[in-house]
């Protein structure tokens, strides 16, 4: 279930209330005239079944509420109400499978910022992975994978590509294009530093770390794992299965491959360096490709639902055109 807090200008309030009242999957509708002060207007509160959240929000955006007011979306963890059960029944599909596209876009947009914290986490995860390679420790390698923040920009890149938002594509690529070189450089300098003071095991070789050897020798299974992890990661972000994301981070060897590039370069092992580069490129490419395909399929399913919703009686009650969108001639991100 999704809770909507809508700030709407007075001239659109009646239409918005009529829309929500006529929507069978919406309930707990509260109308507060003149309650909003900045911007000035009315406040409407409503709960909507998660399955219908995006189509209802699209209707509200046709009323220009997103431009003249605002629409806030909050997840409801639990609700005890017979009305909520009826609303869920009125919406086709399962709540756990539903995608709230506005939520996905907002969530992934947060991960496209090239911030100091992002770079710090990239460096820390790469340093942990470098230590894991030198000690040949799988446990440390898993820890480095979990700490790594790189999946956020990768997911944001996939969303931007599916939506054909080229400005967002550039913003998503920036943290990756800067973050990986910075993290690899930090791990390279770190490896030289600990080698200079004699911390690595005497028998360590950049080419011989059997427990973590897989991060520099890509094969068919490397591609399969990256594809499966990419699909699982995107599904965990777009649906209510967010708990699966930790498993995804452990499955994808992007940070370990980046760290291995640094370690191999520090020890002058060209073959190992090339293998780690290939592993990193394969993982990144496979995850983005799978993310785009997964999101494309989910998008097509939503577009079909949206087209069906355009004939809903609730649109007529709100004075919206039936069978078409007012924004057909514009770039409507929620319908593309």
CATH of the domain at 53: 3.30.70
191 or 334: which carries more pLDDT confidence?
A: 191
Q: Which residues pair with 48 in a beta bridge?
A: 2, 26
Q: Residue 186 and residue 195: Cα distance in Å, rounded?
A: 14
**Confidence at residue 147, expressed as pLDDT on a 0 to 100 scale:** 87
Question: Would you say 200 and 194 are in contact if contact means Cβ atoms under 8 Å apart?
Answer: yes
**Confidence at residue 238, expressed as pLDDT on a 0 to 100 scale:** 82
Reply yes or no on whether the pLDDT at 233 is more than 90: no
Over residues 182-190, the mean pLDDT reads: 96
Distant-in-sequence, close-in-space partners of 179: CB < 8 Å, separation ≥ 6: 114, 118, 119, 122, 149, 150, 153
Over residues 96-110, the mean pLDDT reads: 81
Q: Residue 118 and residue 138: Cα distance in Å, rounded?
A: 24
As for how many domains the chain has, the answer is 2
Task: Report the share of the chain in percent with pLDDT over 70.
Answer: 91
Task: Report the share of the chain in percent with pLDDT over 90.
Answer: 43
222 or 265: which carries more pLDDT confidence?
A: 265
Estimate the crossing angle of helix 166-196 against helix 254-266, to 10 degrees.
40
pLDDT in tens, 315-336: 999 999 998 887 764 444 444 4
Please name the residue that has the structure tokens 């007075």: 10
Question: Would you say 63 and 42 are in contact if contact means Cβ atoms under 8 Å apart?
Answer: no
Over residues 162-171, the mean pLDDT reads: 89
Chain centroid to Cα 285, Å, comes to 17
Same domain, 80 and 136: no
Q: Residue 141 and residue 210: Cα distance in Å, rounded?
A: 13
Reply yes or no on whether the pLDDT at 114 is more than 90: no
Same domain, 115 and 258: yes
- The domain in which residue 183 lies consists of 105-300
User: Is residue 327, in this structure, part of any structural domain at all?
Assistant: no
User: Is residue 314, in this structure, part of any structural domain at all?
Assistant: no
Reply yes or no on whether the pLDDT at 23 is more than 90: yes
Q: Kindly report the CATH number assigned to the domain that includes residue 233.
A: 1.20.1080
Distant-in-sequence, close-in-space partners of 279: CB < 8 Å, separation ≥ 6: 215, 216, 217, 218, 222, 253, 257, 260
The tokens describing 83, both together, are 């009305």
**Confidence at residue 332, expressed as pLDDT on a 0 to 100 scale:** 47
**Confidence at residue 330, expressed as pLDDT on a 0 to 100 scale:** 45
- The rounded mean pLDDT for the chain is 86
Over residues 290-302, the mean pLDDT reads: 91
Over residues 120-139, the mean pLDDT reads: 92
* 34, 69, 98 - which closes a domain: 98
**Confidence at residue 242, expressed as pLDDT on a 0 to 100 scale:** 55
User: Is residue 24, in this structure, part of any structural domain at all?
Assistant: yes
Over residues 251-274, the mean pLDDT reads: 87
**Confidence at residue 245, expressed as pLDDT on a 0 to 100 scale:** 56
């Amino acid at each position: 279930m999704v809770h909507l807090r809508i700030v709407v200008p007075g001239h659109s309030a009646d239409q918005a209330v009529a829309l929500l009242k006529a929507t069978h999957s919406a309930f707990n509708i509260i109308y507060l005239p003149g309650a909003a002060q900045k911007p000035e207007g009315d406040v409407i509160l409503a709960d909507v079944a998660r399955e219908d959240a995006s189509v209802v929000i699209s209707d509200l955006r046709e009323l220009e509420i997103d431009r003249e007011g605002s629409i806030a979306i909050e997840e409801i963890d639990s609700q005890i109400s017979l009305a909520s059960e009826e609303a869920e029944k009125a919406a086709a599909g399962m709540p756990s499978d539903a995608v709230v596209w506005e939520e996905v876009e907002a969530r992934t947009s947060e991960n496209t910022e090239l911030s100091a914290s992002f770079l710090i986490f990239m460096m820390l995860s790469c340093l942990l992975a470098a230590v894991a390679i030198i000690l040949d420790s799988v446990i440390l390698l898993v820890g480095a994978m979990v700490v790594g923040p790189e999946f956020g920009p990768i997911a944001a890149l996939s969303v931007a590509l599916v939506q054909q938002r080229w400005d967002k594509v550039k913003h998503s690529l920036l943290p990756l294009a800067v973050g990986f070189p910075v993290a690899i450089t930090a791990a390279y300098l770190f490896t030289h530093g600990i080698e200079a003071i004699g911390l690595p095991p005497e028998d360590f070789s950049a080419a011989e770390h059997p427990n973590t050897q897989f991060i520099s020798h890509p094969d068919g299974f490397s591609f399969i794992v990256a594809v499966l992890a990419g699909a699982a990661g995107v599904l965990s972000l777009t649906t209510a299965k967010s708990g699966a994301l930790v498993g995804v981070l452990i499955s994808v060897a992007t940070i370990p491959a980046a760290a291995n590039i640094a370690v191999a370069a520090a020890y002058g092992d060209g073959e190992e360096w090339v293998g780690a580069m290939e592993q990193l490129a394969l993982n990144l490419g496979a995850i983005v490709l799978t993310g785009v395909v997964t999101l494309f399929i989910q998008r097509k399913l939503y577009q079909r639902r949206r087209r069906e919703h355009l004939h809903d009686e609730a649109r007529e009650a709100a004075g919206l055109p039936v069978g078409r969108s007012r924004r057909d001639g514009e770039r409507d991100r929620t319908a593309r």
